């Protein structure tokens, strides 16, 4: 990127997070899910000793994967959209509706993020854990709060900046 087309520093950090770091984390979570499943299946069918807590661990990893994928999906514009009327709109109307939709999406994502912050704080205070493995639940809420906030910021990016990601 040349100096005149360089992204502002906060957007550069968001780009690195959403386009580089989160996909690597998602890949690690998928790899961990595969490893848990392989160990569980081998243990179950070959040694007659399944991996203790495999189902619960897979649930936690899958939840992390879904939350990690949310900002990536937002960046790529991969959310479901219904565009029945947009073919009849002028380019200006399309930009206005798109900006409005991005604002509403961002507000909803920020609201969910804030709710997860409050919920995670309560989980931390209560010492809530999973049933079988006694894993603390608050890190899942913290990850969700973080990724929903990252998605909210990503939703606000103008489309010309998203293409540069």
Give the model confidence (pLDDT) of 29-88 as tens digits: 999 999 999 999 999 999 999 999 999 999 999 999 999 999 999 988 888 878 888 888
Question: Measured between alpha carbons, how far is 57 from 133 in angstroms, rounded to an integer?
Answer: 8
What mean pLDDT comes out for the span 79-100? 86
In the numeric block, the tokens 């386009």 are attached to 19
* Of residues 71, 99, 81, the one with CA closest to residue 165: 71
Q: Which two tokens stand for residue 114?
A: 């804030």
The model's pTM is 0.85
How far apart, in whole angstroms, are the C-alpha atoms of residue 74 and residue 160?
A: 15
Cα–Cα distance, 138 to 126 (Å, whole number) = 10
Place 159 in a pLDDT band, splitting at 50, 70 and 90.
low
Query: In the predicted model, what is the mean pLDDT of residues 16-26?
Result: 92
Per-residue pLDDT at 51:
94
Give me 100's structure tokens: 């409005």
Q: Could you state, in order of their start, the residue ranges of all structural domains in the chain?
A: 3-164
pLDDT of 160 above 90: no
């Amino acid at each position: 990127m040349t100096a005149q087309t360089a992204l502002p520093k906060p957007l550069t950090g968001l780009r690195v997070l959403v386009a580089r770091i989160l996909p690597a984390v998602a890949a690690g979570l998928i790899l961990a899910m595969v490893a848990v499943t392989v160990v569980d299946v081998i243990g179950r069918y070959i040694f007659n000793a399944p991996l203790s807590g495999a189902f619960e661990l897979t649930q936690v990893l899958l939840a992390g994967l879904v939350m990690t994928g949310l900002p990536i999906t937002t960046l790529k514009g991969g959310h479901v959209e219904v565009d029945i009327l947009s073919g009849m709109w002028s380019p200006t109307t399309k930009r206005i509706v798109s900006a409005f939709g991005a604002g509403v999406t961002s507000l909803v994502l920020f609201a969910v993020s804030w709710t997860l912050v409050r919920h995670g704080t309560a989980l931390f205070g209560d010492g809530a854990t999973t049933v079988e493995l006694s894993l603390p639940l608050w890190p899942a809420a913290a990850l969700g709060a973080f990724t929903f906030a990252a998605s909210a910021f990503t939703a606000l990016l103008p489309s010309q900046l998203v293409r540069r990601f």
